[in-house]
Structure 1
Amino acid sequence: MTELSKPPRERAARALCKLHGHPPDTRFEGKAMWESYLDEVDAVLAAAIGMSALNELKQSE
């Protein structure tokens, strides 16, 4: 899967993970490391685009 074909929340979480110096696909607590950044991504997206749009984005994944 190419980077742009990944869902926007995953791309953002992977970017934050890399920004903090972590390899996104490393396993952490049973999941890919990037998944641990989804709460932060969701907080920023909720502020930027609103909860309604965020919920639509989540449903489209």
Structure 2
Amino acid sequence: MVSALMPDDVRQLKAAGYGDEVNALLGVWAAMAIHWRRADMSDSQVWADVQIKLNELRTALRE
């Protein structure tokens, strides 16, 4: 799910006034990823990949 949204998409959504909604969506994805990790539903590499992608998207939102 995280890979479906690109940093440019985040920038465009923010420019269109949807920054709060994007921030909320990223929060939901982060919470879901944490839950999966705690439940051992993903391996450490998937967890790392998700964290990297979420950080990229959050950075784009702050720009």
Which TM-score band applies after superposition, normalised by the shorter structure?
0.3 to 0.5
| Bigger RCO (CA 8 Å, 6+ sep) | 2
TM-score (norm: length of structure 1): 0.34
Q: Higher strand fraction: Structure 1 or Structure 2?
A: 1
TM-score (norm: length of structure 2): 0.34
